[in-house]
Structure 1
Amino acid sequence: MAANGTENDNSQDAPLRRPARLPARRRQSPRRRKRGGVAFESRGGFWFVTDEAWLKASQAVPRDRGRLASTPEIDRPFLDQQLREKKAREDREQLRIKAFDADILRYDRTAQLLAAQEEGRVRALNLEVEEFRARYQRPESRREFELSDPDALRKDRPARVCEDDPRCGPSGMQRFQGEDGNQLPRHKFQQRETRGWLEAQRAEKEKAQRDQKLADDLYHRKETELAERGLLLARMEEDSRRALDTATLNYNMALAAEQAALRDADRRREEAMNLAEIGAHVYGDVLTENPQVALSAFGPHRVVTDRWKGMSPQQLEDIRRQQGLQVEENKMRRMKEAQIESEWERQRTLVDSAAMARQRLEEEEARRLRQELDKYNQQLGREQLAHQEYLDKEVYTNPPSAQYYLQFNSSSR
């Protein structure tokens, strides 16, 4: 029965197995606690076996193996096979953890690349807008620029340049009644000026239409780009979640099959050992009532196996105590595995929450840009309407009539 307890322990994971490392956090002074003769320390909200206790347990394993090797009815090749299977399981666990870490790094690099591309597109769009303003929306190209030109006095000409200066009116005391000799050139100049104003108004209207079309194109392009980026992020999130669910399902199925095979092997091995023990008791010399028959001539710690009656109550009690300790260690190992699994689930929940928060921020940024563009367009419309009303009500309120021109050449003076 001692061999049975030892093999059951070796067929499962080691009781002192160290869990996989979680993502690094800010280092704090670990808290230590001693329970059952084993020292533990707290790291990141979990309790782990200290390095000293781990080393002590590792050094004690060979002594326990040597003690168990001297016990009869132990299948040493089978124990070695169990150790190899245990090592293979640990290697598979390490590969699974490395695969999860590689997926996390790949997702982080993809998010950083998309963010850098988005920043580059926004920067290029801003440069295009600044270049358009510097080329087509300069202050000196406005019609009302001459009203607020800081260099207006430097550009101004004298009151009268020549005899035919059209700027000389009656109030300037530069030209008097009867001196109008530039009527025809003045009319031609007024016609050219009117034609120039009409051309300028038409050009300004066409320019405003082109600017509005360009602004609409930029808005639609940005809106389409944001929609495509949202679809790309949604597809990436769905693919990652589907891949993670598939890997978890495959791992759980493989683990269930492995555990079923181990339980079946343990059951068959226990039945074989029970039958062998019954046969040994029935057909061997174990039924003798003289315990001195099993003593060996090589020392009190040796026994004659074909005449050995069995273990003493003290030896059986030690074995049961060791089995109880192994059961407790297995319970602690399962609790640690459950904690690690819950931590992984929390990390996955945090990643999903961060992706949703980033998507909401991008939608809010797109909405804010759209609102700012609408406000800017409305402001431009109001400014144009105000300027047109100013021209209609303030500038062109007193056009010259026919009576104004009839007052000239009305006398001999």
Structure 2
Amino acid sequence: MLNSLFIKHEDLKEAAAIERRRQYEEARKQRIFNARRRVIGVDTAALAHQIGEKNRIQQEEHERRRKFIDEQQRQSQAIERKCQEQTLFRHQLHNEINHFRVLHQRPEQSRDFDLFDPNGLKKSLPARVGDNDPRLSVSGAQKFDGEDLTEKERKQMQMQQQRSWLEQQIREKRRAEMDRIAGERFLEEALEARERRVLELAAEERNSRCKILEATNQFNKHLMQQQEHERQQKKREDEEDNMAEIYNHLTSDILTENPDVAKSSLGSNRIVPYSYKGMSPEEVQQIRSAQLQQQDEMRRRQQEERKNNKAWDKLANDFDRTVLVKDREINQRRRQLAECIRHENVHLSDEAQRKLNYLDRVVYQNSPTMEYFEQFNTTTR
């Protein structure tokens, strides 16, 4: 009771506002933290209501515009019909007025028609009919000294002169055209004569070629007969020469077994190839002796080559052993270097671990707990 006496109206309003904000926050939590109702933190029901309201407004606006367009079209059609009716009425009225004017208000029916008759001057006499017109007077200024009274005859003479000039030009043009046609005909005849001359020359050339071809064929035939005669004669001479050569071979030392025939007159070490009958036993023995010497020389060279190969093999084995020793030394040095690197890495790892322990124990003492992480995502703000 005592507390209620000291509560002010402002306190009640503030408590009501706090309670209202608390309820609004609880409702917001239910909308946001409820996975079934929220879609990325948006009130789908309110959005659906807004979309429906917007669609309804758009439909009403579309219906209002459609009605407005229909009314506008109806009024436009009515105005167009009215304009057509007025145009038709105005046209009929004008036709009736024109018909009345044609029947009852013609110009020749007026009293003063002779004053504005367009053909009045055509109907009246001219001011001067001729030089002998009695209406002409001195003060009328219709006849003067030096006036060209023969203007009409002069113009007729000028027209006749122009006509004669035109006829002369026409005759000259016709004559020039006839000359041109004659020139073209002459040129065509000259071209035809040249064509005929060309054809005659071509025919003469063909005849000359035929005669030359016939003479050439006769000459070739005569030449072929002469060559055939010479070939037969040469064949007979070749057969006689071959028979003489065969007889000479049969009677010469070529087919005999005389070894002296193969000796050349240029030296004792030379022979006549076509008369050579083969080697003598002494020459065969000499060749066999030379072959035996060559075989001994070949065996000696092979033995020397085997000795050289053994020496090279020994040198290669020594080189391989040296390379193997060097590889072992290099591998041992590599293992020693790897061991040094491993000890250095262990030392660096221990140093890094000591630094991490120092940071965890000395520098980063206030590490966050689960309470620090659980305070997030508890309100909607």
Q: Could you state the TM-score of these two structures normalised by the residue count of structure 2?
A: 0.27
- TM-score, length basis structure 1: 0.25
Higher relative contact order (CA 8 A, sep 6+): 1
Larger Rg: 2
